[in-house]
Amino acid sequence: MSDVAQPKPKRDSRVQVAHTQTTRGDAYYILHNPDANTYVAIDPQNYFLWELMDGEHALADLAMAYFAQYGAFPFDRLSQLIAQLEANSLLEGAPPVVASAPATGFAYRLQRLADTAFQREFDWQRADEFFTALYRRIGWVFFTRAAFVAFGALAAIGFACFVYLEPTETFDLLSVNDSYGAGIAVLVLANFVVLFWHESGHGLTCKSFGRRIRKAGLMFYFGMPAFFVDTTEMWMAARMPRILVSLAGPIVNVIIGGAIAVVIVTLPLTGWTQALFQAAYITYLGALLNLNPLLELDGYYVLMDWLEMPQLRQKAFAFVRTGLLAKIRTRSRFTRAEIIYSVYGVLALAFTALMVLVALYIWENELKVMLHDLATGQDLLAVVLLGGLMLAAGTSLALGLAARVILLTGAARERRRASQKEGDQK
């Protein structure tokens, strides 16, 4: 048989391999192409085949070697593995991941608007150099035993101070010195600053494990500015380092919130302490939301790594939608994975409903009162800030939805034309 009929797959020389194992002792391997930024997890049987892909062994050789090792032919396994490796640029000769030629025209601009209206990133490609230098100069101090003890004490004392302050009528979440405008300004600014340190916590912890930061920068999410740090290379690390990197951001929130609360307790009551209380409140709220595994934030990735179940959220929703009722009706035995999918999926849906009720409560007890006061026109700063935030978010949402509607309408029109043309030809 010719070489054309018997291809000889070859590993891409750029691919990095990390060997790790689950808590149950099952081994698996992570393949990573740093240039294409692709990651693939494979089991030991697929890794056996991967190691034979040196450009010298044809597919038949791989199948025979697998049969000699495991006593079965890997025809389906081999074809699926090669397709997966090629799709992620892990084999030589696979289509390279390169930037396509710049497109032009109205359709392209409309598609770009639809893709970036809700979330657009402005990448800083030298982020790894920055965090490497920051970690070497001062960041390493934060990971010493003395720092852990000091930060732990500060977080505990600070949280106790915050609990002591929160029930009093001295502090208000939405206003400072009876000014909603000042309150909104403090909330937005504090959230922006804390988010920077939150993401820096992820970045420095990633560097503490010797991993590379692919990129970082500023992003606009539904019109609102936010920072981000890409630590996807932690997939090459073991389970516990991945969990610690995910936890680093919320831990930074708790430390900052604690430090602010301690400062508030030691200062006399002024407009500044009211503003600091708002900053502490939004900081703790950020930690709480990020630690919640029912939202697709840091806590979710902690849970996913702890359970060692990739794509937990998507699989849980799919099982609740298509398999849960059938299992209950037939009284079939649930596997461990199905139990987890059922519990997570149901809790996530219940939490969504709860958030709707919380939003209605906040509207009735906070926002409605604020808007009533703003209607008097006495707090011009609040009107300008709130109007600007709503305009930014609303414009982004409206443009994105409009672009998607136009694209879907155009696609439907093209399908009808193709169907009519096919009918005419018959």
Question: Domain for residue 60, yes or no?
Answer: yes
Residue type, 218: L
Same domain, yes or no: 64 and 149: no
Please give the tally of structural domains in the chain: 2
Residue 275 tokens read as: 């503003």
Q: Checking DSSP bridges between strand 16-21 and strand 27-33, what pairing results, if any? A: antiparallel
Amino acid 160: pLDDT: 94
Check residues 327 and 372 and name the one with the higher pLDDT.
Answer: 327
Interval 65-84: pLDDT, tens: 888 888 888 888 888 899 88
Percent of the chain that is helix, strand, coil (3-state, to 5)? 65, 10, 25
Q: How far apart are CA 146 and CA 349, in angstroms?
A: 42
Question: Domain for residue 140, yes or no?
Answer: yes
Residue 240 tokens read as: 């516990």
Same domain, yes or no: 283 and 140: yes
Question: Domain for residue 365, yes or no?
Answer: no
Element (H, E) at 359: helix 336-362
Question: Domain for residue 160, yes or no?
Answer: yes
Residue 361, SS3? helix
Question: Domain for residue 188, yes or no?
Answer: yes
Q: How far apart are CA 203 and CA 248, in angstroms?
A: 9
Q: Are residues 50 and 84 in contact, defined by beta-carbon separation less than 8 angstroms?
A: no
Spatial CA neighbour of 60 closest among 78, 45, 47: 78
Alpha helices in 166-238 (DSSP H): 180-208
Per the DSSP assignment, residues forming a β-bridge with 17 are 31
Question: Domain for residue 390, yes or no?
Answer: no
Amino acid 298: pLDDT: 93
Interval 239-293: pLDDT, tens: 899 999 999 999 999 999 999 999 999 988 887 888 898 899 899 999 999 999 9
Q: What percentage of the chain reaches a pLDDT higher than 70?
A: 77
Q: How far apart are CA 307 and CA 23, in angstroms?
A: 9
Same domain, yes or no: 139 and 252: yes
Q: How far apart are CA 312 and CA 351, in angstroms?
A: 16
Owning domain of residue 198: 125-290+302-308
Same domain, yes or no: 153 and 51: no
Spell out the SS3 assignment of 261-317.
HHHHHHCCCCHHHHHHHHHHHHHHHHHHHHHCCCCCCHHHHHHHHHHCCCCHHHHHH
Please compute Rg for the chain using Cα positions.
27
Amino acid 337: pLDDT: 87
Same domain, yes or no: 28 and 146: no
Tokens 């990020």 found at: 290
pTM, two decimals, is: 0.75
Q: How far apart are CA 36 and CA 95, in angstroms?
A: 11
Residue 393 tokens read as: 């978010």
Same domain, yes or no: 272 and 166: yes
Same domain, yes or no: 61 and 137: no
Check residues 376 and 305 and name the one with the higher pLDDT.
Answer: 305
Q: Are residues 345 and 324 in contact, defined by beta-carbon separation less than 8 angstroms?
A: yes
The one-character DSSP state at 212 is P
Same domain, yes or no: 184 and 272: yes
Residue 168, SS3? coil
Same domain, yes or no: 246 and 152: yes
Question: Domain for residue 256, yes or no?
Answer: yes
Spatial CA neighbour of 50 closest among 36, 37, 31: 31
Interval 180-204: pLDDT, tens: 777 778 888 888 899 999 999 999 9
Same domain, yes or no: 248 and 186: yes
Amino acid 379: pLDDT: 63
Q: How far apart are CA 317 and CA 328, in angstroms?
A: 16
Same domain, yes or no: 286 and 144: yes
Question: Domain for residue 205, yes or no?
Answer: yes
Which among 280, 308, 336 is the end of a domain? 308
Same domain, yes or no: 20 and 144: no
